[in-house]
Amino acid sequence: MENPEFSPINLDLHSDLCIKFRADYSFICSFGTDKPFWEDDGNGDARYIEWLKSRSSRRYGTFHIWLNGRIIGQMELGERNSKEDFGYVHLYYLIPECRGNGYAKYLLSHS
């Protein structure tokens, strides 16, 4: 198994993919629907991208996971309660075909 690579999310290039990953994992996989993601006004995706932008310059940050030139996942990490020494995982995401293949250990070791 090849080691995946981690790079900060480039929202100019990959915001649509970020939205897809968050809607799938945080909502469809967890609740069976992505309706809450979009929120009542249908603009949940825009608010999510703004949230990602606010995270990109922080200590822990947001990352895409790459394997063989392809994005296979996403991580969103942050501080918890504004304490620098205490991190929080907002999202670990792997595309369905990479789940169950041992890649999660790389996400854990990177965070």
Tell me the residue range of the domain where 71 lies.
5-110
Quote the number of domains for the chain. 1
Q: What is the pLDDT of residues 20-68, one digit of tens each?
A: 999 887 888 888 999 988 988 989 999 999 989 887 666 678 899 999 9
Q: Residue 57 has what pLDDT? A: 61
Residue 65 tokens read as 């996971």
Instruction: For the chain, state the CA radius of gyration.
Output: 14
Q: Residue 59 has what pLDDT? A: 63
Q: Find the CATH number of the domain harbouring 61.
A: 3.40.630.30
Q: What is the pLDDT of residues 66-78, one digit of tens each?
A: 999 999 999 988 7
What's the pTM value of the predicted model, to 2 decimals?
Answer: 0.83
| Edge-first strand listing for the sheet containing 5-8 | 5-8, 62-67, 70-80, 83-94
From the number of C-beta atoms within 10 Å of its C-beta (0-12, 13-18, 19+), residue 111 rates as middle
Q: What is the pLDDT of residues 78-104, one digit of tens each?
A: 776 665 667 778 888 899 999 999 888
